[in-house]
Amino acid sequence: MAYRGYFDGGSRGNPGIAGAGAVLYDSTGAKVWEGAKPLGRCTNNEAEYLAASMVLEEALRRGVSELELLGDSKLVIQQLSGAWKIKEPRLQALANSFKKSASGLSLVFTWIPRSDNSDADRLANLAMDGERLDLSLDSEEVAEKGPLIPEMNLEAAVVSQGEDRFLVDIVRKRCSCDEFAQRGDCPHLSFCLELMGTSRQADPRRDRPDRAPSSPYTRPAVV
């Protein structure tokens, strides 16, 4: 099966502030990429052409040999497929550039209603708001680029018991409750450490061994 690329372009003012959005699915139907690109000032039809070129470029970058291109611009779909003639010189230049890039690629053009193009439409609107996005979603590329967010550690939590709230310092193994202040130990701290799977080292202030947390405590909130 061929890859599928959805595209959409828009212009606020026509001509006006414009943006392009596109989404690429692999041959299994999994979304592997999405992009948003601000285009500056151009017409709506120019933005549509540039959006089609954007998803084409991503497909070529991945070595795709067969691509179904889907968009809700009947003008662009019919012109790129050769069904309609291109009268506007600027659109002709964009079409020529597209066809040159697509040389050797098996392409199918499909018109779809706007309601079936919501992802690309969303991305085009992001682009018109000035947002830029180039996001690979397939597992192999994500693994090569590393984690999307840095490693995080939970250092403190708030434990609720009825109407009371207690701050537990997981790193220093302390709690704000009166019981901890008196004995150096409390069920709130035990509760958090057990959830975290943290080992507890001996503390001379404790006068009894650790006990499992009891049910009245709710899960801690990250602070």
Q: What is the mean pLDDT of the chain?
A: 85
Q: What is the pLDDT of residues 92-101, one digit of tens each?
A: 999 999 999 9
How far apart, in Å, do the first and last CA atoms of the chain sit?
A: 48
Q: What is the DSSP letter of 175?
A: E
Q: What average pLDDT does the segment 46-74 reach? A: 97
Q: What average pLDDT does the segment 40-68 reach? A: 97
* Residue with more model confidence, 149 or 28: 28
Q: What average pLDDT does the segment 79-89 reach? A: 96
Asked if pLDDT for residue 84 goes beyond 70, the answer is: yes
Q: The whole model's pTM is what?
A: 0.64
Q: What is the pLDDT of residues 128-144, one digit of tens each?
A: 999 999 999 975 554 45
pLDDT value at position 83? 97
Q: What average pLDDT does the segment 106-114 reach? A: 97
- The residues spanned by each domain of the chain are 3-145, 156-222
Q: How far apart are CA 36 and CA 54, in angstroms?
A: 9
Q: What average pLDDT does the segment 152-165 reach? A: 75
Q: What CATH superfamily classification does 3-145 receive?
A: Ribonuclease H-like superfamily/Ribonuclease H (3.30.420.10)
Q: What is the pLDDT of residues 190-220, one digit of tens each?
A: 888 887 775 454 444 443 444 444 445 444 5
User: Which residues touch 208 (CB under 8 Å, ≥6 apart)?
Assistant: 185
pLDDT value at position 158? 80
pLDDT value at position 214? 44
Q: How far apart are CA 61 and CA 210, in angstroms?
A: 58
* Closest alpha carbon to 39 in 57, 22, 65, 17: 17
